[in-house]
Amino acid sequence: MRSFKKLYQRLPEEFIETISTQFEPRTLEKILAGFMVKRPVTLRINRIKTNVREVMEVFRRDNIKFERVLWYEDALIIRSHREKDLETHQLYQDGQIYLQSLSSMLPPLVLDPKPEQTVLDLTAAPGGKSTQLAALMKNTGFLLANELNPIRAERLKFNVERQGASIIEIQVQDGKRLEPKWNDFFDSVLLDAPCSGTGLFALENPQTYRGWSCKRLREFSREQKKLFEAAFRALKPGGLLVYSTCSLMREENEAIVDWALEQYQEQLIMEPIQLNLIGATLANPAPNTKGPKSLTVIPSELYEGFFLAKFRKTTCN
């Protein structure tokens, strides 16, 4: 791994020590390589306002080169322009497209909400996933987008209004302390949990990894469990819950899944994740694992590191 010398010098030593115990050498090498790549711009077409055919026609007219994403009709890869270029484009200004990483598009697709359903996005800002959920619901039904931070909630409100997602109600509240009126209320819940962000590490951007520590990792793990408890309470019997993070650490991912299944036992079961992520590199499942698996996406040229698990609630609180 001589080519990783600069990476070893820059990343926190305790991070390297920790992740080296969690992945086998070949997978670890792929992860480290993923920290060193520069990804192209990716975006999602907002079906509330337009469709992929119309957007492609505009891009061809404006000489914006794009590639289709085979597993998601509404996603495009842009290699000819930077984010700053696209942010000035009329399609972006009108809310017809939303700049979003491919990995962050996965949780709404896995949750797969239907029109007229009730959906909760428990930690919603800046709104990419909330507005994607609304589009998947054909902007019908009810979606509660909850956000703790008032400043981030303003950004969430801006994005929701720009994309015309009228079914979204924004609530500024601690997601761990939802009001009792929401108990057993939602058909689906998305918990894209705050995390240590290890799947987003980029060698050339020290801000992505400078503050990482095992102490912070433990803090996030405790927070994730409390948020999961709130998500579970809010979900109807028979409803679906998707738990996701942009982390690669077992303490925030598989350990949370194990804790949840132990905590709720017969009240919660795992569901299979059915996605054909062409071009993605996935971590191998744990040996001797039975039943549906969680999904760990390894950072690569197109994907940020990401973790997803899907559950169904079987009984009331």
Question: Which tens digits make up the pLDDT trace of 162-183?
Answer: 999 999 999 999 999 999 999 9
Active-site pick, 195, 214, 246, 316: 246
209 shares its domain with 225: yes
135 shares its domain with 53: no
Quote the percentage of the chain above a pLDDT of 70.
96
Give me the number of domains the chain comprises: 2
Are 279 and 103 spatial neighbours (Cβ–Cβ below 8 Å)? Answer: no
264 shares its domain with 229: yes
Question: Which tens digits make up the pLDDT trace of 221-256?
Answer: 999 999 999 999 999 999 999 999 999 999 999 999
106 shares its domain with 95: no
109 shares its domain with 193: yes
Average pLDDT over the chain reads 95
| pLDDT over 80 at 291, yes or no | no
Q: Quick check: pTM over 0.85? A: yes
Indicate the residue among 77, 100, 123 that finishes a domain: 100
Sign of CA dihedral 16, 21, 23, 28: positive
218 shares its domain with 314: yes
161 shares its domain with 238: yes
Confidence of residue 276 (pLDDT cuts 50, 70, 90): confident
CATH number at residue 231: 3.40.50.150
What's residue 3's pLDDT? 73
236 shares its domain with 88: no
DSSP states of the chain: -GGGHHHHHHS-HHHHHHHHTTS-HHHHHHHHHHTT--PPEEEEE-TTT--HHHHHHHHHHTT--EEEETTEEEEEEE-SS-HHHHHTSHHHHTTSEEE--TGGGHHHHHH---TT-EEEESS-TT-HHHHHHHHHTTT-SEEEEEES-HHHHHHHHHHHHHTT-TTEEEEES-GGG--GGGTT-EEEEEEE-----GGG-BTTBGGGTTT--HHHHHHHHHHHHHHHHHHHHHEEEEEEEEEEES---GGGTHHHHHHHHHHHGGGEEEE------TT-EEPPPPTT--SS--EEEEP-SS---EEEEEEEE-S--
Indicate the residue among 100, 117, 143 that finishes a domain: 100
25 shares its domain with 52: no
- Residue 110's domain comprises 1-36+101-317
Q: Is 316 assigned a catalytic role?
A: no
263 shares its domain with 286: yes
Render the burial of 188-202: b for 16+ CB within 10 Å, e for the rest: bbbbbbbbbbbbbbb
What's residue 5's pLDDT? 87
85 shares its domain with 231: no
Question: Which tens digits make up the pLDDT trace of 61-110?
Answer: 999 999 999 999 999 999 999 999 999 999 999 999 999 999 999 999 99
Q: What is the arithmetic mean of pLDDT over 189-207?
A: 97
Q: What is the arithmetic mean of pLDDT over 113-117?
A: 98
Quote the percentage of the chain above a pLDDT of 90.
91
What's residue 4's pLDDT? 87
| pLDDT over 90 at 292, yes or no | no
Indicate the residue among 76, 100, 124 that finishes a domain: 100
80 shares its domain with 110: no
What's residue 315's pLDDT? 80
CATH number at residue 70: 3.30.70.1170
